[in-house]
Every structure is written in structure tokens, then in C-alpha cells.
A and B are shown apart, each in its own frame.
Chain A
Amino acid sequence: MSDWKTFCRVDDIPVLGSRRIARRGSTDVAIFRSGDNTIFALLDRCPHKGGPLSQGIVFGQSVACPLHNWTIGLDDGCAKAPDAGCTQRFSVKVVAGEVLLDTQELATLALGTTAVPATVARGAETAAAERPAV
């Protein structure tokens, strides 16, 4: 069951930038605005080494993690090849210029501060295991 709540207006997020929603006891959620004013929400945690994606450079429909420059797709939360791994996505609605998120999701998905979201999949683990530390 969804429970939509307005967090800000689209204009409160810089174009090609982001803001974040703090969650007590859990990792923040980052909200991004792309060049064409589409809004996305992801767990503020890179699947690589946990970097805060909200602090990255936004381009196209991607964000570059500020720690080691992995590129994460804003629409699916997944790293672009050859890197592999995904972060949790959150649903977003824009109604009359206002940005809404589902508080049910915020209260239930990817809780804790270190939990790897359940969506990390698609063969990501094996590839990640072989990868050297960056």
C-alpha cells in the first residue's frame, strides 16, 4: 500500500543536481533531477564502496559516484559495465511541480546503514568478487 508524501518542489533540486532525505537509523535517500527535469530517487549509497551518490555529478540519466567514479543509472540504480552492482530504487511521483515519495517504501526498503539492498543481482556478485579493490 502506497502512502505518497510531498517532500519538495522540483525547483528545490538543482538541475543536474540532487538533494537528500535523511532517514533516522538508515542510509539517506538521494533525489536527483536530470537535465530534462525528470526526478529519480535512489538509496544514497554506491553499490561499490558505499559512497553518497547524492554528492556525485549528474549527467544524462546517470550519476558518477564521488568516491571512485562508478557510473550509476538513475532509472535502475545499477552500475554501468564493466562495473556491476545495483542500489535500491525508490518510487517518485511529480504532481503539479511537487515531488512525492512513498513513505511506505522509505520506511521499509534498504533499512540500516550498511545493508546491501536485496536488488543487487543479475550476476553482479560474481563479477564484483573478482574485481580488485579500487
Chain B
Amino acid sequence: MKRMKLVMVGNGMAGVRTLEELLKIAPEMYDICVFSAEPHPNYNRILLSPVLAGEQTLDEIVLNPLAWYAEHGIKLHLGKKVVDVSRARRIVIAADGTEESYDRLLIATGSNPFIPPLPGRDLQGVIAFRDIADTNVMIETARTHKHAVVIGGGLLGLEAANGLITRGMDVTLVHIAPWLMDRQLDGVAGDLLRKSLELRGMKFRVETHTSELVGGPLGRVTAVKFKDGSEVRADLVVMAAGIRPNTELAEKIGLHCARGIVVNDTMQTVTDPRIYSVGECAAHRGIAYGLVAPLFEQGKVCATHLAEFGIGRYAGSTTSTKLKVTGIDLFSAGNFMGGPDCEEIVMSDPYGGVYKKLVIQQDKLVGACLYGDTVDGSFYFKLLRDGRKIGDMRDKLMFGESHLGDAGHQGQSKAAAMADSDEVCGCNGVTKGTICRAIKDKGLFTLEEVRKVTKASASCGSCTGLVEQLLMFTAGGDYSAAPKKKALCACTDASHQEVRDTIRETHLLTIDAVYRHLSWRTPNGCSACRPAVNYYLISTWPKEAKDDPQSHFINERSHANIQKDGTYSVVPRMWGGTTNSSELRRIADTIDKFKIPTVKVTGGQRIDLLGVKKEDLPAVWQSLGMPSGHAYGKTLRTVKTCVGSEWCRFGTQDSTKLGIDLERALWRMYAPHKVKLAVSGCPRNCAESGIKDVGIIGVDSGWEIYVAGNAGIKTEVAHFFVKLKTAAEVLEYAGAFLQLYREEGWYLERTVHYVARVGLDYCKTRVLDDAANRKALWERLQFSLDGEPDPWFEFDKAGVDARQFQPLGVI
């Protein structure tokens, strides 16, 4: 087949990323040709600031060296600016007369600096800060001249000013607004930033309008004059007053432009179906994005369409700004300025260099501005995007997501202060050095990419803030952006919630039906979506939808826990943590008979037999003669108890009996994730009820119920839910809360995350305030569990494929 021709105008980060994505999925489809106005291969424009400051070299910021273009057979026209396109003849024409024909044209011309129309703007020594040439001029000028003026107090202007100071120049920064970075910071934070920079010798003229650039006899700029008549000496003027989408070519060739080249959700221009556009020049639903993450997302979508896969839509991004300006961490998102009907929570410690402002409107977080300490930025961003009510966490909101119990990274909150050998991700053992190297060597830009390649932050996520900081100072600039909704997995665009809703509303009963109905991209899903969809089916339509054994993780298929050497562990159920001599004798005999190497008492008050061969599992279960402990499943695990009033001299309630009753009522209960309960007989709380999904504490007058505690990665103390009089009530209320979680939780979401998402008040409304609904929930749970088999003894009924335990043959 003859290859089609793809011509790209522009050679920047978004465009080249699109080509990379395209080469990944359709390497043979196109002959590719790239026009680059600059005489350089694709480099990381965001890192021009560290180059100016002398922290990095130009070589270090090249993303795709010339060899990359050669390796992929890409024809590269360096230093050739495209001046025209004949859409009728499908030919691109450069200023030097070079012509290339195309079948598909990708316009990725990025943006241009905005140069205010001031007298003297054409003088020598007046430049923007946009590309390598500008950077080189600044570096050269700093060697021979003394006085610099930067016009514009945004990120770019501040970085230019900081770089020039580092190179020994005397710098005055001129800004029209009353405070610096007025698009990203409120006045307080802007002033903190100014004061900190003044200490480094930067001079400021805020609320100042420039009227003229004054030139000398040799045509070089000599001073900047302001509207109030004063002037400042200047041998160099850097214009950093913002950027505008570069639509010059697009407008000339008749493409519809409105604050950018207008594209649809496939990144195709609305004017000409052969022409696509990505990056800062493209206007998608009225927005031209300037952050890397959304632009790369556009590139990915565009590549699938260039490859004629016809899948993938760009639905826009919600963005936040997380920046490091001259070593100071800043974060802002949403409406951080507040307004008449907004409330503000503010923490200000100017001496310590920390300022935080949260803006709340109608019980929701609508904006945040952080100065100095931004580790909780992603937490606030998530709350903002999800639009969840924050009433129940308002008192703790300012202190962020980090808790005393955060494990795995030694309580670090400042990535810069860590050594290369320090562990950032304790789950996967990833050090700061490994992450930084991967970001640099593999050209990673987004959190998702770092997770994929290094596994850092990919498990529990408690180090996400640290990884984001590392991304920021290794790759530069801002990378916080998220799709408006998160797809369940790569097989679909549908979110967990959409899948749940569709199954309920359309009464779907099989995984295939869900995949067909929601147009899954894969024939039988993947290891992420199939267990989730299977759980949604059986939890939504109990006794109707049939459980699919092949859509369970191995532990739930073999009803034992797989260990690192491929053997299994077996945990029989001990109701409420109680046992007796005959059970213990059978356990001891089983250990001897099957030569089980390790026996361990678990934290859930039972006994774990480790190192059982898969072939032996059914015989071990028979030999034990005890029910399955479900220690392997997204199920009810244990109900931990203290001895309570039956023996304890402090006990006020019979906690052991209630624990056993709860466990008998709830065992075999599948849930979005594992579920652990505890019952203590008095407030001394020996069963540790404060860190359980449902924790119950007996007091003299009844029982207190706590929910959504967690002892895992994030130690989270359970919230007080309700106080009840009788054990029967406890069963009903606890069961109703758990059924709510079972029906609404997303797969692999613990109760702590579920309640954090929907809010404790919501759970109270559904379970406490609405008695009829509570009873209905409790009845649905009992209906679901009624007659459920014990998978260790009823293989057929439980859908256990007994063939798995024996090999097909032995040779």
C-alpha cells in the first residue's frame, strides 16, 4: 500500500508528541515531514528558564535529537518557516520556496509572545522570552551590559528576571497589576512573592504602565519611560506580557479561528477535514490550553484519528496551576480570588513563608491558592473537580490530606529536601533518584507516565504530592491537569459511576452485555475492568446476574491467598476470634499432615497457614473442617472483638457475642474492597474499633457505631456515626451502611474512600434519617447473602472450578 503523506507545521512539544503517539500505533502509515521555523530539534521550552539561570544547558533540554527524526524516517526542514498552504493543491510552501505535498496536515504552530504596541518596540535589545534565540540574546547581553527591564510580572517575566539577576544584571520588573502573577495568585500571596524576590535584589514597579522605550543614537534601547513621567535605565528589555495562539498561517489559508484554530473533539479543524491542529494554537471548545498535560492528551487523541482508528475524543481538561517560581512553590486552582457569596479559610504565616487560602461556595471547595507549601494541591484540586460537599471535613480541610499515619515516605512533604537515595514510594520501593532519572531519560511529563514507568505513586498514592513536586522541578513547569472524568480503564471511556448507573438503569446482567452496551474497545476487557464490572453486576442484581469466576483475581478463584513463591495461605474462619480445642486440634493435625511450613496468628484474631501447595488446597479445607475465612477476597474479613462483659472486669457490654452475631450475619459478603469490623466492650477499645470500616464500642447505655476508619496506608480514624441501644439495632444500622457502600462504592474503594467521596452527611441521610430506606438496605443485604455457599465446601454452588487444583499432566 502506498503510504500517505503527513506534513506537520511546527516542531514543538505538542506536535512532536502527537507524532510519537502516531508512530507507536501506526508506524508504517505515513511518510512524515516536519517544518520547523527554529533551527533546532524539538526541545523542552519550559526548561528555557533553568537554561537562562545557568542550571541546565541547551543540550540537556533537547527532547528529540536529530537522530530521532532520522531513525523514524521523518524529513525535517529546519529553519524553514511555512508561509502558505494551497489547500486546493494540498501543498505546503515555506519562505525559501520549499514545497511539500500532503494528505494530512497537522498545524502545531504554538503561540507567539504578545508584544505591546509601544513606541520603540523595534529597538535593538528589545526581545521576548519564547525560544532558544531569545535565551541566547539574554545570556550574551548579561555579559556585556548591566541594566535590564522585564515587562510583565507573570511566570515567564519572573523567571526571566530571576535568570538575569543570576547572570549579574540589575533587573527592574514592571507589572501593570497591583501584585505579581495576578492570574495565578491573590494579593496576599503575590505580595509575599514580591517581598521574597526583593530580598534577592529584584526591583519592582507594580501598577505601572510603560509609555515608551527610549533608544540611543546607535539604535539600541537605553531606557524605559513610564506614564507617570519617570524612567528606568535599560540596556535590555524583555517583553513577557503574555502569549497569543499563533494563528497567522491558519488565518491566511482560511481556517476558522477564534482565540485559536477551532478544532472539534478529534482535534480536526472545523474548516478542512484533512487538517488537524494540536497545542497552544488550537482552540478546543473555546479554550486554547497552555499546559503540557492537556496538550499531550490532545496529541494522543489526534494520533488515533490520524491512524484512522476512529476512537478517542478529547473532552477538555480541568486545569490547575502548580508552579515553582525561582524556588518558591505556588499552587492555585479554580476561583481562588473568592467573591461576594464565597467564604474563605485562610492560614497565613508570612515569617515561615507559608500562605494558604481556600475558597468555599455553597459547601463546596471552589478555589485554592497555596504559597510556599503546595503538597496538598492535588488533594484540593480533586475536591474541586469532584465538586463534593465539604461540610463534614471543613474543620480539617486546611490541614490537607496528609495525616499522622501516612506511611511509606518517612513523613516527608518537601521533595527538594530529600536525598536521591531517599524512598519516595514506600509501596514499590522507588527512590527520588530513580524517579528523577526516569523523568529525564524517558522524557516523562505527567503523573500517569511516571506511575507507568517507575510504579511510584501507582499503588496507594500517598506519595502523589511528592512525585508531582519531582516532576515539576525535573521536567519544569506545571503538569497538574486531569481529564474531566476518569475512565474505568483503557478499555472504555466510561467512568466507574457510569458503568454502575448503566447496569442499574438498563438492567444488564452479563459482562458481555455491559461491554456491548457501553461500546467497550476490547473483546473481553482487561484485568482492571473485568473484576469491577463483575462485582457491579452481582452487587446490583443479586440472584439474577451470574458470577463469572474468570473475572476474579486468583485469590478469589482459588479461595486462598497467593504468596510470592506461588504457594497459598489458608485462613479458616474463627467467629469473632473465638475457637476451641477441637478446632485447634484439627488445625494442628492439618499442619502436620500437609507439612505446612509457617503458622501465623493474624491481626484479625485468627490463624494463617502459609505455604500450602495449590494441589493440596481442597484436602486442607476438608481436613480443617472450618468455614472459609475469606481472607483472600474483597469481602467481609473479620469481626475483631475483645472479651467484653462476660469476663472483663471493665466490660460494659457483651462485645464477643455481638461480634459473633455480626460475623455470622455478614460473612460471605462481597464488597467493593475488603471489609473489617470490630466490637469493643467498653471505651478502652481493646478491639481497636476506631480504625475499622465499621467499629462498634460498647458503653454502659448502649453501643456507639463508628464508620470508615482505616488502618492501612492512610491511617484514618473512623467517624462517629450513631449511638444505639440494642444489639439488634446495631446489626440493622451496620448492615444498612455496608449495603449502601456495596451498592454505591466503586470497585477497590475502601469505605474510607467511599465516605470521603460522597460525604459522611450523605451516608447519615440515607441510613439514619430515612428509616424506611435503612430497613430496605438491610433487607437487600440479607437477601443478597441468603443461601450463599461456603466456597471451600460447595464448589458447584460457589462456581469454584475444581479442575484448577490439578495439573493436566506430569512429565
Q: Does B273 contact A (CB under 8 A)?
A: no
Chain A 59-87 against B: per-residue CB contact (8 Å), 1 yes, 0 no?
Answer: 11010101101010000000000100000
Residues of chain B within 8 A (CB-CB) of A14 are 549-550, 801, 803
A59 B522 Cβ-Cβ under 8 A: yes
Question: Is B808 a contact of A20 with CB atoms below 8 Å?
Answer: yes
* CB within 8 Å for A107 and B522 given contacts A12-B803, A52-B566, A59-B530: no
Among residues of B, the one whose C-beta sits closest to the C-beta of A66 is B554
B559 → chain A closest CB, angstroms:
13
Assess whether B431 is in contact with A132, with CB atoms less than 8 Å apart. Answer: yes
How many angstroms from the CA of A29 to the CA of B550 in the assembled complex? 19
Contact check: which of B428, B430, B431, B452 meets A82 at CB < 8 Å?
B452
Contact A56 B554, beta carbon cutoff 8 Å: yes
Contact at A107–B803, with CB atoms within 8 Å? no
Interface residue B45 (Cβ < 8 Å from any Cβ of A): no
Given A19-B808, A21-B808, A130-B437, is A59 in contact with B524 using a C-beta cutoff of 8 Å? yes
A21–B455 CB distance below 8 A? no
Known contacts A16-B550, A17-B801, A64-B526, A134 near B562 by CB under 8 Å:
no
A106 touches B (CB below 8 Å) = yes
- The yes or no answer to B109 lying at the interface (CB within 8 A) is no
- When chains A and B are docked, how far (Å) is the Cα of A35 from the Cα of B442? 35
Quick check: is A96 within 8 A (CB to CB) of the other chain? no
Flag if B811 contacts A107 (CB, 8 Å). Answer: yes
Q: Taking A59-B524, A60-B522 as contacts, is the C-beta distance between A8 and B430 under 8 angstroms?
A: no
Given A49-B564, A55-B558, A133-B429, A60:B810 Cβ within 8 A? no
A42 CB-CB contact with B under 8 Å: no
Nearest residue (CB) in A for B444 is A82
Asked if A16 and B562 make an inter-chain contact with CB atoms under 8 angstroms apart, the answer reads no
Contact for A21 among B429, B438, B809, CB less than 8 A: B809
B603 located at the interface, meaning its Cβ lies under 8 Å from any Cβ of chain A in the complex: no
Nearest residue (CB) in A for B527 is A64
Q: Mark A5-26, 1 if CB is under 8 A from B, else 0.
A: 0011000101111011111100
Output the least CB separation between A22 and chain B (Å): 4
What CA separation (Å) do A28 and B566 show in the bound complex?
A: 11
A132 contacts B454, C-beta separation under 8 Å? yes
Residue B41, interface by CB 8 Å: no
Would B525 and A19 count as touching, CB distance under 8 A? no
Whether the Cβ atoms of A21 and B566 lie closer than 8 Å is no
A residues near B525, Cβ cutoff 8 Å: 59
- Please name all residues of chain A whose beta carbon is closer than 8 Å to the beta carbon of B808 when the two chains form the complex: 7-8, 12, 19-21, 31
Query: Measured between C-beta atoms, what is the minimum distance from B151 to chain A in Å?
Result: 44
Q: What residue of chain B has the Cβ atom nearest to residue A61's Cβ?
A: B523
Chain A: which residue is nearest B562 at the CB level?
A66
B319 lies within 8 A of chain A by Cβ: no
* Chain B residues, Cβ within 8 Å of A28: 807
A39 CB to closest chain B CB (Å) equals: 12
A36 CA to B660 CA, complexed, in Å: 47
Interface size on A, residues (CB 8 A): 42
Which A residues are CB-close (under 8 A) to B549? Answer: 14
Q: Which of B429, B456, B523, B807 has the most CB of A within 10 A?
A: B807
Q: How near does chain A come to B429, taking the closest CB pair, in angstroms?
A: 5
- Do the beta carbons of A56 and B431 come within 8 Å of each other? no
Given the interface pairs A21-B807, A22-B811, A28-B807, the reply to whether A57 lies near B429 with Cβ below 8 Å is: no
Cα of A103 to Cα of B527 in the assembled complex, Å = 32
Residues of B within 8 A of A69 (CB): 527
Interface residues of B, count at CB 8 A: 39
* CA of A60 to CA of B529, assembled, Å: 13
- Complex: A66 Cα to B566 Cα, angstroms: 9
Among residues of A, the one whose C-beta sits closest to the C-beta of B555 is: A66
Q: Are A35 and B811 in contact (CB under 8 A)?
A: no
In the bound complex, how far is the Cα of B525 from the Cα of A16, in angstroms?
11
A12 CB, nearest partner CB in chain B, Å: 7
Kindly report which residue of chain B lies nearest to residue A133, judged by CB atoms: B429
For residue A51, CB closer than 8 A to chain B, the reply is yes
* Assembled-state Cα–Cα distance A12/B808 (Å): 9
Q: Give residues 98-134 of A contacting B (CB, 8 Å).
A: 103, 106-107, 130-134
The answer to whether the Cβ of B569 comes within 8 Å of any Cβ in the partner chain is no
A62 to B438, CA, bound (A): 26
Q: Which residues of chain A are near B659, meaning CB under 8 Å?
A: none
- Counting CB contacts under 8 A, is B434 at the interface? yes
A43 within 8 A of partner (CB): no
- In the complex, B553 has a CB within 8 A of chain A: yes
CB-contacts of B412-465 with A (<8 A): 428-431, 434, 437-438, 442, 452-456
CB distance from A78 to the nearest CB of B (A): 16
- Indicate whether B735 reaches chain A with its CB closer than 8 angstroms: no
Bound Cα distance A52, B530 (Å): 20
Distance from B534 Cβ to chain A, minimum over Cβ atoms (Å):
11
CB neighbours of A12 from chain B (8 A): 803, 808
In the A-B complex, the 7 residue pairs with the closest CB atoms: A64-B527, A22-B807, A57-B527, A55-B554, A52-B566, A66-B554, A35-B524
21 contacts between A and B (CB under 8 A): A14-B801, A19-B803, A19-B804, A21-B807, A21-B810, A22-B810, A23-B811, A24-B810, A31-B808, A50-B566, A55-B562, A57-B531, A57-B551, A67-B562, A67-B564, A69-B527, A71-B526, A71-B527, A130-B434, A132-B431, A133-B429
Binding site for A on B (CB under 8 A): 428-431, 434, 437-438, 442, 452-456, 522-527, 530-531, 549-551, 553-554, 557-558, 562, 564, 566, 801, 803-804, 807-811
Given A21-B811, A60-B522, A69-B527, 14 additional A-B pairs, CB 8 A: A16-B524, A17-B550, A20-B807, A21-B807, A23-B810, A24-B810, A52-B562, A55-B557, A56-B527, A57-B527, A57-B530, A57-B551, A64-B527, A71-B526
